[in-house]
Amino acid sequence: MSFTIITLDPTNYLDALVFQENFFNAQLEKKDNGEKTSDTLIFLQHTPVYTLGKSGDINNLKIPIEETGAEFYQTKRGGDITFHGPGQLVVYPIFDTENYGIRVREYVTKLEQCVINCLADYGLKGERLEHASGVWLDADNEKARKICAIGLKVSRGISMHGLAFNINTDLNYFDHIVPCGLDDKSVTSLEKELGKKMDFFEVQNKLIAQFQKQFKS
């Protein structure tokens, strides 16, 4: 395996951000010093929070944050507004894309492919949607719905932030926002698609296996 895996207990967004930034800054420092970087894959669930990407529109939060039962943070990742909370698998790869000989677009494609392959294990066809990152079901028609969001920050090849995969997520939280700024699309979860509560850590282990396949240095 070419990266270290860390699994955290449920964590609020700010604590997880500081945790990520420590790894991210350490890898940038290694690059500055001409040292070999190392890669870390962080898995966790967040306490309920809405985050807004640097190019996002705050108007995509449809009601006052005080009425949502969640926290709110503006971030430096790409993308618009999204929700993180219990039952959602959040993955933060602190990766040096140069270790894998890929550029940012290829990196995003690999992240998407990890989720697409994981979904296939459950009989679902994950797809990409043109001009929109993440993983979708029925991407080519009016039933298109997002099951995994992706938002990244990449500096000198080092990535942070990552993906949010809805497993047993309470989808009611998404009613308070225009998810990812797309008002004509909906959001779904494995639980909703398969009609039953999923074994969260079984899904996580399947996703880890896909990362091990996709990211071999």
Sign of the Cα torsion 131, 135, 137, 143 reads negative
Specify the pLDDT at position 132.
Answer: 80
> E strands, 34-187, where?
40-44, 49-52, 71-74, 81-84, 88-94, 127-129, 132-137, 145-155, 158-166, 186-187
The residue extents of the domains of the chain are 4-214
Query: What is 4-214's CATH topology?
Result: BirA Bifunctional Protein; domain 2 (3.30.930)
List residues with catalytic annotation: 180
Q: Low-confidence residues of the chain, pLDDT below 50?
A: 1
Dump pLDDT digits (tens) for 28-76. 999 999 999 999 999 999 999 999 988 888 988 999 999 999 999 998 8
Which residues are within 8 A (CB) of 81 and not within 5 positions of it... i.e. 6 or more apart? 50, 51, 52, 53, 56, 57, 58, 60, 61, 177, 178, 179, 180, 181
Residue 81 burial by Cβ neighbours in a 10 Å radius (0-12, 13-18, 19+): buried
Q: Which amino acid is at 148?
A: C
Taking CA atoms, 34 is separated from 28, 29, 61, 100, 119, in Å, by: 10, 9, 43, 17, 39
Yes or no: say if 122 and 194 are a contact pair by the CB < 8 Å rule: yes
Specify the pLDDT at position 216.
Answer: 84
Placement of tokens 């962080």 in the chain: 42
Sign of the Cα torsion 9, 14, 16, 22 reads negative
First to last CA, the chain: 9
Cα-atom radius of gyration of the chain, to the nearest Å? 16
Taking CA atoms, 43 is separated from 9, 10, 96, 141, in Å, by: 9, 10, 17, 32
Specify the pLDDT at position 1.
Answer: 47
Yes or no: say if 169 and 85 are a contact pair by the CB < 8 Å rule: yes
Specify the pLDDT at position 131.
Answer: 78
